[in-house]
């Protein structure tokens, strides 16, 4: 596993797309900060650090898209086949699991990078933070952001290995991590229920707060919101993330290692 992780880290770090992504993220975070500084526009101060200009709300979309790039090297024609042909049967199962683990580590690196550049942007903008949270809250917030990205990353890897299709995987990554797939599914169920004589949107009202996209949105709003139980289900989004995200991610990793690795790879 470690050898495969090193290999993937090498090939990603020697690819142009990773540096292009880092450049775009840095630009999107630093450019508004510079504009704020030069024009003296923007807020007078931020209430806290995690609710400031550190945008973690959409980070899971980028993490899933990066996973789709990492795992769309097709096993049937690409470099992956060359590696897989040099691995024994058991090591091949590890190879599939490693792709999930690597993508999750990449998501963690992305979140850490976004946080650091976001902090830099905060400094550049010159907007003060009134009452920064304690370090443990910031760490928990970062961890929770990663937890919210994990199901989307793992599911994207699973879709990549099952479909072996870059377009399908990328579309799935963006739609699922954007919450459109799960939202659409719920609305569909609600619509069917309404057709059968039930009340419209009852399923969405009951299940909605437990959807990963809904939890990710609440976590993205900042550490205070993440830890607050003042919401529809009276349970902090951090706890809901712990209940929902790890099982989904683990199930996707297990399905990938057990199902995808049993298929012909070429």
- The verdict on 101 binding another protein (CB under 8 A) reads no
- The verdict on 105 binding another protein (CB under 8 A) reads no
- The verdict on 234 binding another protein (CB under 8 A) reads no
- The verdict on 163 binding another protein (CB under 8 A) reads no
CA dist list (Å): 214 to 73, 205, 217? 31, 12, 5
Question: Which stretch in 2-10, 102-110, 147-155, 224-232 sits in contact with another protein by CB under 8 A?
Answer: 2-10
Q: For residues 40 and 90, which CB has a smaller minimum distance to another protein in the complex?
A: 90
* Measured distance CA(76)–CA(210) in Å, rounded: 37
Q: Give the number of other Cβ atoms within 10 Å of residue 112's Cβ.
A: 12
- The verdict on 259 binding another protein (CB under 8 A) reads no
CA dist list (Å): 114 to 11, 22, 59, 138, 245? 21, 9, 8, 13, 21
* Measured distance CA(71)–CA(73) in Å, rounded: 5
Question: Which stretch in 47-55, 86-94, 124-132, 156-164 sits in contact with another protein by CB under 8 A?
Answer: 86-94
User: How far apart are the two ends of the chain, measured CA to CA in Å?
Assistant: 22
Residue from 94, 109, 248, 254 touching another protein (CB under 8 A): that is: 94
Report which secondary-structure segment, H or E, holds 223. Answer: helix 223-227
Q: For residues 205 and 266, which CB has a smaller minimum distance to another protein in the complex?
A: 266
- The verdict on 77 binding another protein (CB under 8 A) reads yes
* Shortest reach from residue 85's CB to another protein, in Å: 4
Question: Which stretch in 46-54, 55-63, 73-81, 223-231 sits in contact with another protein by CB under 8 A?
Answer: 73-81
Q: For residues 66 and 138, which CB has a smaller minimum distance to another protein in the complex?
A: 66
- The verdict on 161 binding another protein (CB under 8 A) reads no
The encoded tokens of residue 215 equal: 């939890």
Residue from 43, 78, 126, 134 touching another protein (CB under 8 A): that is: 78
C-alpha dihedral (59, 210, 142, 155), degrees to nearest 10: -50
The DSSP secondary-structure symbol of 46 reads: B
* Residues in 13-72 at the binding interface with another protein, rule: CB under 8 A: 14-17
> Residue 156: CA atoms inside 13 Å, Cβ hemisphere, count?
36
Q: Which residues bind another protein (CB under 8 A)?
A: 2-4, 6-7, 10-11, 14-17, 73, 77-92, 94, 262, 264-266
């Amino acid at each position: 596993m470690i050898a495969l992780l090193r290999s993937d880290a090498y090939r990603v770090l020697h690819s142009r797309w990773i540096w292009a992504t880092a450049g775009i993220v840095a630009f999107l975070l630093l450019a508004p900060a510079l504009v704020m500084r030069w024009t003296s526009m923007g807020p007078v101060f931020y209430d806290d650090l995690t609710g400031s200009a550190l945008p973690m709300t959409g980070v899971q979309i980028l993490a899933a898209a990066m996973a789709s790039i990492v795992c769309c090297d097709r096993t049937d024609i690409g470099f992956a086949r060359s590696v897989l042909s040099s691995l024994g049967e058991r090591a091949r199962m590890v190879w599939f699991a490693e792709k999930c683990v690597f993508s999750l580590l990449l998501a963690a690196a992305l979140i850490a990078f976004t946080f650091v550049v976001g902090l830099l942007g905060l400094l550049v903008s010159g907007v003060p933070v009134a009452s920064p949270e304690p370090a443990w809250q910031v760490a928990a917030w970062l961890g929770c952001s990663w937890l919210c990205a994990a199901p989307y990353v793992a599911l994207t890897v699973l879709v990549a290995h099952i479909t072996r299709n870059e377009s399908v995987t990328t579309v799935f990554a963006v739609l699922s991590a954007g919450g459109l797939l799960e939202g659409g599914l719920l609305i569909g169920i609600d619509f069917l229920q309404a057709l059968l004589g039930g009340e419209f949107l009852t399923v969405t009202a009951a299940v909605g707060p437990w959807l990963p996209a809904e939890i990710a949105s609440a976590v993205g709003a900042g550490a205070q919101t993440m830890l607050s139980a003042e919401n529809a289900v009276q349970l902090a989004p951090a706890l809901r993330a712990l209940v929902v995200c790890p099982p989904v991610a683990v199930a996707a990793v297990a399905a990938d290692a057990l199902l995808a690795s049993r298929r012909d790879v070429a």
